[in-house]
Amino acid sequence: MNQRGIKVSESKYGVVGLGHIGRRLVAGLRNGGHRPVVHDVSPEAIAAVGAADAAKSAADLATQTDVVFIAVLSAEQVRAVVMGPDGLLAGAHPGSAVVVMSTIDLQSVREIAAECHARGVVFADCGVTTLPGSTDDQVRSVVAMVGVGDAARDDVVAALELVAQSVVVCGGVGSGMATKIARNIVTYGSWIVCAAAGRLLAAAGVTDEGLRQAIADADPDGRTMFLLEDEIGFAPENRSRRERISDLIEKDLGAAVELARTVGVSAAFTEFVIRERAELLKLVERGEAQIREDMSRYDWGRRWMDIVYGPGFHDASVNRDGSPYNLETVEHLFGDIWSRPGLSLRERRMLVMGASAQLGRADLIETQVYGGLLNGEFSEAELEEMMIQLTPYVGWGRSSAVNKGIKAAVGRWKAGIGTSVTAD
């Protein structure tokens, strides 16, 4: 690349890192009629791509190239490749481009981008994902998710089209890496989901062939993953539909939990989805909301009391008499402590439940469990497991009170009976 921009056919390309991704980049560049200069710390990796043009260092590679693709493993390695004593910036000329294709943290992306900018070098962050079934030497076998400034966007995309089947422009610097990180959540998360489903089927004596076929036939384009955002939505007028979906999740996955318990496999992931459904569907408020400038400290605590224990709890349980005790309960306990971001609402509640169990207070347990059920934090199976876990520690006498409180909360929750009046 020079100050006038890339001419794809005339630019010289380099690849640093010749592993899983780097070999695909080399294959794509060669397929496009280019002879990339390569560099890797491993002589075996260089030999594997049959590279006659291997640079002695990243700096040496930069003196010979206009566009450099980096495909090393970690942020530390990227920093060394770009900013080290023998790094790319030691040999790069103004107007050349560095494209980081390693998955690294965003802070590192920003810092490396700033160093490149200071030297007049174009920077792009480009997360990549490989095509299913492709091999390491397969031409254009990656999808590129690129973040780059507007001025260099067309040039960088043109270079990436040599090595990628598809180039997705995500925005400015940092957006490509953020998109790749999010993509990884989808990828690895789906593996957990499929593994859990497969274990359940196997334990029930059923193969997963029917499941695979049903998924392929029902959703060949993968739209189900974004169905909630794209087709259902979170508009206020859609709340009743989301409430019906919440009921379906509880019913359908409740059947999955029962099957798992029958065949003796873990239902932890399924139970997690059940308890997170209210937040997923945006049926409850969560602690990410910040205090508004026009909200008093008391009103903030009052709001949090209702988040913890259910709508209307404050008005039903707290006498607004201005007493120091009530003010401290609402403003400090709920406004300052329950609202802190360090632990989830569910984690805080479980700590309080443990302390309440030690007291043998069925009423306190009932209040906590009922609030958790309203927020979708617990399944009934998890509550039963909590009883088993707590009993050896608090003793059978106190655990009977815990059991009484749990049963009372579950009964009220199922019956739709309003909030209790015991706060802690």
**What pLDDT is attached to residue 3?**
44
User: Tokens in use for 305?
Assistant: 């009391």
The angle that helices 268-280 and 239-263 make with each other, rounded to 10 degrees, is: 170
Summarize pLDDT for 67-102 with one digit per residue, the tens.
999 999 999 999 999 999 999 999 999 999 999 999
- Examine the pLDDT at 42 and tell me if it is beyond 70: yes
- How many CA atoms within 13 Å lie on the side-chain side of 106? 12
| pLDDT above 90 as % of the chain | 74
From CA 411, how far away is CA 390, in angstroms rounded?
21
**What pLDDT is attached to residue 1?**
40
From CA 129, how far away is CA 141, in angstroms rounded?
9
Write the DSSP assignment of 27-87 as a string of letters. HHHHHTT---EEE-S-HHHHHHTT-S-B-SSHHHHHHH-SEEEE--SSHHHHHHHHHSTTS
Distances from the Cα of 370 to the Cα of 44, 215, 367, 417, angstroms: 62, 36, 5, 10
Summarize pLDDT for 98-121 with one digit per residue, the tens.
999 999 999 999 999 999 999 999
For residue 51, count other CB atoms closer than 10 A to its CB. Answer: 20
Mean pLDDT, rounded, for 130-151: 96
Distances from the Cα of 405 to the Cα of 335, 367, 420, angstroms: 26, 8, 12
- Examine the pLDDT at 8 and tell me if it is beyond 80: no
Question: pLDDT grade, residue 278 (50/70/90)?
Answer: confident
Q: For tokens 């999808």, what's the residue?
A: 143
**What pLDDT is attached to residue 418?**
60
- Examine the pLDDT at 288 and tell me if it is beyond 50: no
Question: pLDDT grade, residue 343 (50/70/90)?
Answer: confident
Taking a C-beta distance cutoff of 8 angstroms, is the pair 3, 95 a contact? yes
User: Tokens in use for 341?
Assistant: 């971001």
Summarize pLDDT for 27-37 with one digit per residue, the tens.
999 999 999 99
Summarize pLDDT for 179-210 with one digit per residue, the tens.
999 999 999 999 999 999 999 999 999 999 99
Summarize pLDDT for 385-394 with one digit per residue, the tens.
999 999 999 9
Overall size of the chain counted in residues: 424
62 Cβ partners below 8 Å, 6+ apart? Answer: 14, 68, 88, 89, 90, 91, 92, 93, 96
Q: What phi and psi values does residue 97 have, to the nearest 5 degrees?
A: -130, 140
**What pLDDT is attached to residue 142?**
97
Summarize pLDDT for 353-412 with one digit per residue, the tens.
999 999 999 999 999 999 999 887 888 888 999 999 999 999 999 999 999 999 999 999
Beta pairing class for 97-100 and 166-171:
unpaired
